[in-house]
């Protein structure tokens, strides 16, 4: 994992114009008001060995925390943001993107409001779908978390 490279991408996304429509973006997806990028992705874990998957999830959580430490030093320490609650709320109310999509993929995010940019940053491990790869995601959005 290259933390400096991940931080540079997050910094760039804090100032890059958002796409006008939903679709692929450099290293992920984007849409009006947000980017979701894959910082790291496992390979070969789709529907594979659950023991190996668990080890990978643990490693990616350490990656998330390492990126989070650097961002926390910059924008302040924050408590983990519970995406399980957001996912439950999607059953009763309209949750805006990228939060609805992120809650469907990840359980917990590290979250900051990037000072001076008007944007929110989230870093999370997408591991809910055992039939998909484990991914370390970064979200940059102008939409405040629900």
pLDDT digits (tens, 9 = 90+) for 40-84: 999 876 766 777 888 999 999 999 999 999 999 999 999 999 999
Residue pLDDT, tens place only, 93-126: 999 999 999 999 999 999 999 989 999 999 999 9
Neighbours of 146 (CB within 10 A): 14
Of 30, 36, 32, 42, nearest to 1 (Cα)?
A: 42
Q: Does the pLDDT of residue 30 top 70, yes or no?
A: yes
CA distance between the termini of the chain: 30
User: Residue 104 has what pLDDT?
Assistant: 97
Q: Do residues 75 and 114 touch, judged by C-beta distance below 8 A?
A: yes
Residue 95: exposure state from Cβ atoms within 10 A (0-12, 13-18, ≥19)? buried
Cis peptide before 98 (omega within 30 of 0): yes
């Amino acid at each position: 994992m290259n933390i400096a490279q991940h931080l540079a991408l997050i910094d760039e996304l804090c100032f890059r114009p958002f796409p006008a429509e939903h679709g692929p973006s450099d290293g992920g997806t984007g849409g009006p008001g947000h980017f979701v990028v894959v910082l790291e992705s496992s390979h070969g874990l789709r529907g594979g060995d659950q023991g190996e998957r668990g080890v990978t999830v643990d490693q990616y959580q350490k990656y998330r925390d390492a990126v989070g430490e650097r961002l926390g030093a910059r924008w302040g320490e924050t408590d983990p943001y519970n995406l399980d609650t957001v996912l439950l709320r999607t059953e009763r109310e309209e949750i805006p993107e990228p939060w609805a999509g992120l809650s469907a993929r990840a359980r917990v995010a590290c979250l900051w409001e990037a000072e001076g940019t008007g944007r929110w940053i989230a870093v999370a491990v997408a591991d809910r779908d055992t039939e998909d790869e484990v991914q370390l995601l970064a979200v940059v959005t102008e939409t405040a978390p629900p």
